[in-house]
Copies of this chain bind each other. A is one copy, B any other.
Amino acid sequence: MELIDGKAVAAQIKLEIAEEVKQIIASGGKRPHLAAVLVGHDGGSETYVASKVRTCEEVGFKSTLIRYEDDVTEAELLDKVIELNNDPDVDGFIVQLPLPKHISEQKVIETIDYRKDVDGFHPINVGRMSIGLLCFVSATPAGIIELLKRYEIPTAGKNCVVLGRSNIVGKPIANLMMQKAYPGDATVTVCHSRTPNIKEICQQADIIIAALGVPEFLKADMVKDGAVVIDVGTTRVPSTETKSGFRLKGDVKFDEVAPKCSYISPVPGGVGPMTIISLMKNTLLAGKKSIY
């Protein structure tokens, strides 16, 4: 069993991005600039955005954090989005989700200029990904693909089971894994809450990508020997062992599943660190105008 060390891969990619930024600056280019809009004070969102801003600094990007209180109106937020769309200095930006209930997330996402949509949530980017065109791929699926690539895990013709059909993980990673590409070219099955026989389906999988958000859902008796398991679960559970008072639990019962795997990604330290670094990669692509 080999552990997929997302933390180490992310650190390596961070160095690669930092090096490329240095070269861009040395040759007189513009420093990539990521803006992040944060509404309210949700604990998770605060942590994620702070981490994104810090990573920007580490790789040499310019970053701008725009904060609103919970009572910002939808109109105000949309005005800011339009301002960022039109700001030539901003290469890419994100609006951290979730948003307060009185604001339509979908409207905000669709108002973002898809050419600056480094989160890859705009329908144009989702659609282009499905068709197999260049686009901003959203961070979590992009991070999974990068891990498979860096570990040179074979995917062509493999039986890949995706657990979960969310718009931000399940559906896009299923789409990517079926593309004519590497990683990709897999036979892809998408299971979800309505699937009656998940256990039997998982038992036949060469690759399992677990993104249900159900802690320790995937048990040893659901995994065949030699399988590759990617754990995308990040459920916060209370914990007395951490100073934050919680810890992250994956969708995989790691201790019993790991011994059966050829490769497995842990939680934390697997897909998680790749998510932010994928956002950085998208920002670099946006800065270089590599996609649009």
For A29, the chain B residues whose CB sits under 8 A away are none
Does A98 make an interface contact (CB < 8 A)? no
- What is the distance, in angstroms, from A261's C-beta to the closest C-beta of chain B? 21
From known contacts A106-B133, A131-B167, A175-B171, infer whether A156 and B194 are also in contact, taking CB-CB under 8 Å.
Answer: yes
| Contact B132–A167 (Cβ < 8 Å) | yes
Interface residue tally on A, bucketed by range:
35 or more
Interface-forming stretch among A46-54, A86-94, A184-192, A237-245? A184-192
For A167, the chain B residues whose CB sits under 8 A away are 130-132
Give the oligomeric copy count. Answer: 2
- What is the distance, in angstroms, from A120's C-beta to the closest C-beta of chain B? 10
For A106, the chain B residues whose CB sits under 8 A away are 133
Does A128 make an interface contact (CB < 8 A)? yes
| Contact A127–B132 (Cβ < 8 Å) | no
CA of A123 to CA of B123, assembled, Å: 7
Does A201 make an interface contact (CB < 8 A)? yes
Does A28 make an interface contact (CB < 8 A)? no
Segment 188-212 of A: residues with Cβ below 8 Å from B: 188-192, 194-197, 201
Given contacts A130-B167, A171-B175, A185-B192, 5 further A-B contacts (CB under 8 A): A123-B123, A126-B128, A127-B129, A159-B197, A165-B180
13 A-B pairs in the complex with CB atoms less than 8 angstroms apart: A122-B127, A123-B123, A123-B126, A125-B127, A131-B167, A156-B194, A159-B197, A165-B178, A175-B175, A178-B190, A185-B194, A186-B194, A187-B197
